[in-house]
Amino acid sequence: MKLILFDVDGTLMDSQHMICAAMDMAWRGQGLACPEPAAVRAIIGLSLSTAMECLSAGADHPIDELVAGYKQAFTTMRAAGTWKAPLYPGARAAIESLTRRDDCVLGIATGKSRRGVAAMVETHALEGVFATVQTADTSPSKPHPGMVLEAMRETGIGPEDTVVIGDTVFDMAMARNAQASAIGVSWGYHPVAELHEAGAVSVIDDFAALDSALDNLWPRLRADVKVDAGHA
């Protein structure tokens, strides 16, 4: 059995506009100028407190208040019905294809809160898809391996049979730190070259290429499936 862990923001879901808007609200709420969107995109994937510290660049900013303001901004946007973060093209088809396979289980490893993941799951009708969900609520920030280690513990699947699918160097490093594999995606928030440098075994340009990337990572898996299907 194989474990496939998806990052959320920048991998499954295009949420950069929502994140930048919430950041702007949080920083302005403290009377501070929000960092440029490029700087915000660069820290997407980190846990909130770590992200705010990175954006503060050593300045004595009120990290706890910025985190609270960011969370309140998302609460406000959800209540107003302005929470709109679409899945990337092909994401749903890829997830549905993987759920039909009996040789893998799916999970999430994200810097989002569990509440944020729940909102995504409800909005995009993904209930019951993910066997394990690891979030910033209970794990250290990426690139610490805690999310991957806990997902492996919950599912009983080892690092040699685990892969992280993500768009940032934080995802690649997290997988490497857990001795798992990593596949990068080119449509997210970090450059492709940096994903390779951070340890991606491959980087895909669309979700249609995911099956091939997995087959290249685990060639015997697909061979076993084909043999079984031939005797069905």
Q: Tell me what percent of the residues of the chain surpass a pLDDT of 70.
A: 94
**Residue 71 sits in the same domain as residue 178:** no
Average pLDDT score over the chain: 92
Separation of alpha carbons 218 and 226, rounded Å: 13
For residue 53, the enclosing domain spans 16-79
The pLDDT tens digits of the residues spanning 199-212 come to: 999 999 999 999 99
Whether 93 and 173 map to the same domain: the answer is yes
In total, how many domains does the chain have? 2
pLDDT at 38 exceeding the cut of 70: yes
- Cα(45)–Cα(58) distance, rounded to whole angstroms? 20
35/124 same-domain check: no
Sign of CA dihedral 149, 45, 69, 65: positive
Tell me the pLDDT tens digit for each residue of 135-156.
999 999 999 999 999 999 999 9
Return d(Cα 170, Cα 145) in angstroms, integer.
Answer: 10
Given 36, 58, 79, the domain boundary residue is 79
Least confident of 83-92, 123-132, 167-176: 83-92
- Asked whether residue 102 falls in the same domain as residue 165, the answer is yes
Q: Assess whether 74 and 171 both reside in one domain.
A: no
**Crossing angle of helices 219-230 and 210-217, rounded to 10°:** 100
Q: Amino acid identity of 51? A: A
Same domain, yes or no, for 155 and 69?
Answer: no
149 shares its domain with 206: yes
Kindly report the CATH number assigned to the domain that includes residue 199.
3.40.50.1000
Q: Which of 62, 79, 96 is the last residue of a domain?
A: 79
- Count the helices and strands in the chain (H runs, E runs): 11, 6
pTM of the model: 0.89
Residue 116 and residue 151 in one domain: yes
* Contact present, 86 and 13 (Cβ < 8 Å): yes
